Amino acid sequence: MCGFISVRKSVRWLPDVASEPTSTIVLTSPQRQFVDLRILKDENGSIEGENLPFSRLDWAIAGTSSSTTCTIDGKQVSRSQFVHWIDSRTSTPENATDEGDMYPQPDGTTIEKGHMVNPDTGIVTAYEEVWDDKDVPSTDEAQVCVVLKYENGDDKGMVVKLGKYCQGFMKIGEQMSLERWEWTVRTIQMGTEELPSKLVMERKFILGEDVEVAGRSWKVVEIA
């Protein structure tokens, strides 16, 4: 497995109707390390751009995930748990771990069902998210997946590259920086701190290698 790219198609806070106000993509490595970026669309439905204001950020998360099998109403489903290592919505991400039950659909999508805080109301609410999991695009590169992590006390960052896609998220104190790349094009960027995303898209790495970027040492923690 070379990881997977999850694109959210819609979200529904019950009993409301489903909609998709964001561009939400999750890059998950073979070792289940992920960066999840959810960017609000503007009034024209656009999501791409550099130097975007943080008012356009719905949610950014980096962490690890795991899955177990369980039976609900006679159906066998996968229950996924997402452990938050960095979270744009809280300074205590260890308390923000969430989980959802995954129901495969005939069209190849997956409906995730669970309960979490609706950011519009601040109330824990039942939700349904429709996800389209895409295979990692084949490339001629030897390193299809690369994961880098930065940690210095409470300051943390993670960058995940899968094929032609890369996402990075870093939080220094309460200051955040994030970006999304496709090939050599940065399609989304917020914040002022430099991340190693461009470097990840340009060169090969050695597992355990330390990579210096803007005075910070990032460690290569996974290669596939």
Domains and their CATH numbers in the chain: 4-134 (2.40.128.320), 145-223 (2.40.128.310)
Closest of 49, 24, 46, 19 to residue 37, by C-alpha? 24
Could you tell me the two tokens for 78? Answer: 């996968």
pLDDT at position 125 is: 95
Q: What is the pLDDT of residue 45?
A: 84
Candidates 147, 169, 28, 21; CA nearest to 87 is: 169
Alpha carbons 173 and 104: distance in angstroms, whole number: 39
CA 134 to CA 146: how far, in whole Å? 18
Please tell me the predicted confidence (pLDDT) of residue 134.
Answer: 84
Task: Retrieve residue 2's tokens.
Answer: 């070379």
Q: Which residues pair with 87 in a beta bridge?
A: 61
pLDDT score of 161: 95
Q: Which residues of 139-149 are buried (b: 16+ CB within 10 A; e: fewer)?
A: eeeeebbbbbb
Contacts of residue 191, defined as CB under 8 A and 6 or more positions apart, other chains included, come to 54, 170, 175, 176, 177, 178
Do 210 and 148 form a contact (C-beta atoms < 8 A)?
no
- What does the pLDDT profile of the chain (224 residues) look like in tens digits? 678 999 999 999 999 999 999 999 999 999 999 999 999 999 888 888 999 999 999 999 999 999 898 887 777 889 999 999 999 999 999 888 889 999 999 999 999 999 988 888 989 999 999 999 987 766 666 688 999 999 999 999 999 999 889 999 999 999 999 999 998 899 999 999 999 999 999 999 999 999 999 999 999 999 98
Measured CA to CA, the distance from residue 185 to residue 200 in angstroms comes to: 12
Q: Which residues pair with 8 in a beta bridge?
A: 131
Q: What is the pLDDT of residue 137?
A: 63
N-term to C-term CA, the chain? 9
**Residue at 13: amino acid letter:** W
